[in-house]
Amino acid sequence: MDTRRLILVLIFTFSSFMLWENWQKYNQPKPAEAVAANAAAGAAPTPSAALHAGSVPGAPVVAPAATVATAETFTITTDLVKATISSVGGDLVELELLKYKAHEDKEKTFQLFEATHQYAAQSGLTDGLPSHRSIFKRVAGPSSLAEGSDELKVRLEAATTDGIKVAKILTFKRASYSIDVAWEITNGSDKAFAPHAYFQLQRDNVSPAGETKMVSTFTGPAVYTEADKYQKISFDDIADNKAKFNKTADNGWLAMVQHYFVAALVPKDKTPHEFYMRKMDGSNVFQAGVIVPVAEIAPGAKGETSVTLYAGPQEQSALKQVAAGLDLVVDYGWLTMVAAPIFWALQAIHSLVGNWGWAIVVLTIIIKAIFFPLSAASYKSMAKMKVLTPRLMQLKERFADDKQRLNQEMMKMYQTEKVNPLGGCLPILVQIPVFISLYWVLLGAVEMRDAPWILWIKDLASADPYFILPVIMMASMFLQTKLNPTPPDPIQAKVMMAMPLIFGVMFFWFPAGLVLYWVVNNVLSIAQQWHITRAIDAGGKAANDPKA
């Protein structure tokens, strides 16, 4: 297999992968209408026997579950988020990230929790205490984070019987996407009891807006524990009761992951807890959560428990501070060991140049410089093959009816001219993991979202609105094809000439940052290949010059 065939195989493989991803996305369920009843449906989860020790049968019973018609909402605003809280369960039913714009309408802010995907953060208590279906009343307090204040507490209380008092406290923090969700239980009865608190994320199984037609990323629940590390769970496996993940631990976290953003529930470390996931009946809505035991509460005593809810962008530096392993939601797959240092380098360059587009350009140049010797070997092999192409064509005509003799004569020519037809393969294969890693870094980095470059490129994470970069990329690929040796096979030659068009059209829907990388890489490759080809051509002419 010579270099051009290797390139053809790579292009075909990459194209097939992208078409498969697009087909998967095309066949995903369409968003269901946001039926309000679904938001309130779903009973409180039942902890397993491992966590249920100490609970007392016949625990106090709350008022009947709330109906959606009785729900009221209020908003809380900090420097980073605007949260809408419902009186039903004290759920976070909307969450606007004020520093990020919506994908389609840049005049609006991005909503992580919202009704379209029935996406909300819920919590409640088991054993007959208030759940996410119970009515809560807000205790009077400020609705905006005050100037000079580092946090804002929101207290909600639910009506109970037998002297039990239950309060839910949400603590919002300045310059943070983390929200502390706490339960406070005062036992005014004459019996001790040990309830459980649950915290869950509810969402449908439809990918978020903003993914390109040719690029699909993971959307769904994920679990992390020290024992089993990072585990992504598909909605289909949950629906079919085939989901496999570590269900009990005293560490780790549970999250709902989507492109660029994540909501994660992080229990306190060394606290036994249980993870669960389930599909709600009659809908495409799923719930994933964690159950945490509350220590036994004696009569007249008070019990408390809490988790941290992180709901925001997948900024790796911030995620690392929230919980160990949370930065793994920025998933580079099996190439993480290569992709992680590439992203670190990209961040370092950005800190110097101050623009993510120029950071991509500089990083591409650096990577190209590192692989310059390998690329040179590949291009030298192709240049030598190009010089031999006319002679190979003559051999093909002479031995058109004798394939065995043709192969023998070709190998003889390669040995005489000291040309290795496979010489360009290894350098390309070595570089493939780096290029794929950079592809996933540029695809997954939320820092690229709404990041401008120059002129018409206002968002490196979205497709070029005027398709200028993809057209430039197609032109550069066509020029590269012309620099390569012409395949002896006419059909193969036509396929190679059509590849820039086929491959380039796919990039019409790719994020501009990815296309920018390919354009810069192609331009540098053309310059290097042209220089090497010119030098070898000049050397060949000098060798054939009788006056030399």
HEC readout, 84-115:
EEECECCCEEEEEEEEEECCCCCCCEEEEEEC
pLDDT: which is higher, 280 or 491: 280
Question: Rounded to the nearest 5°, which phi and psi values hold at 131?
Answer: -115, -170
Regarding beta strands 165-173 and 178-186, do their DSSP bridges make them parallel or antiparallel, or are they unpaired? antiparallel
Percent of the chain past pLDDT 90, that is, above it, reads 46
483-498 pLDDT, tens digit each = 665 655 566 666 666 6
pLDDT at 545: 52
pLDDT at 151: 95
408-429 pLDDT, tens digit each = 777 777 777 666 665 556 556 7
Cβ neighbours of residue 131 under 8 Å, at least 6 residues apart? 43, 44, 62, 65, 89, 124, 125
Q: How does residue 70 score in pLDDT terms, banded at 50, 70 and 90? A: low
Q: How does residue 79 score in pLDDT terms, banded at 50, 70 and 90? A: very high
Mean residue pLDDT of the chain comes to 81
Of 252-256, 390-394, 494-498, highest mean pLDDT: 252-256
pLDDT at 427: 59
pLDDT at 264: 98
pLDDT at 30: 37
Statement: residue 457 has pLDDT above 90: yes
Q: How does residue 58 score in pLDDT terms, banded at 50, 70 and 90? A: very low
Q: Distance (Å, rounded) from C-alpha 394 to C-alpha 389?
A: 9
In the structure encoding, which two tokens stand for residue 517, read together? 């990388």
pLDDT at 68: 46
* One-letter amino acid of 105: D
Statement: residue 59 has pLDDT above 70: no
Q: In what order do the strands lie in the sheet with 253-258?
A: 136-138, 151-158, 165-173, 178-186, 302-313, 261-267, 253-258, 220-225, 229-232
- 3-state SS class at 296: coil
Lowest mean pLDDT among 31-35, 351-355, 499-503: 31-35
297-338 pLDDT, tens digit each = 999 999 999 999 999 999 998 999 999 999 999 988 778 888
Of 253-262, 375-384, 492-501, highest mean pLDDT: 253-262
pLDDT at 382: 65
C-alpha separations of 170 from 70, 72, 180, 194 in Å: 21, 17, 6, 22
Q: What are the residue ranges spanned by the domains of the chain? A: 3-18+343-544, 31-207+269-312
Q: In whole angstroms, what separates CA 5 from the centre of its chain?
A: 32
Statement: residue 284 has pLDDT above 70: yes
pLDDT at 428: 63
pLDDT at 42: 62
Q: Distance (Å, rounded) from C-alpha 302 to C-alpha 169?
A: 14
Q: Which residue has the tokens 């208030």?
A: 130
Statement: residue 353 has pLDDT above 90: yes
pLDDT at 67: 43
Statement: residue 1 has pLDDT above 60: no
Q: How does residue 83 score in pLDDT terms, banded at 50, 70 and 90? A: very high
Lowest mean pLDDT among 43-57, 173-187, 190-204: 43-57
- CATH code for residues 31-207+269-312: 2.70.98.90
pTM for this one? 0.79
**Average pLDDT of span 383-412:** 73
93-131 pLDDT, tens digit each = 999 999 999 987 888 999 999 999 999 999 999 988 999
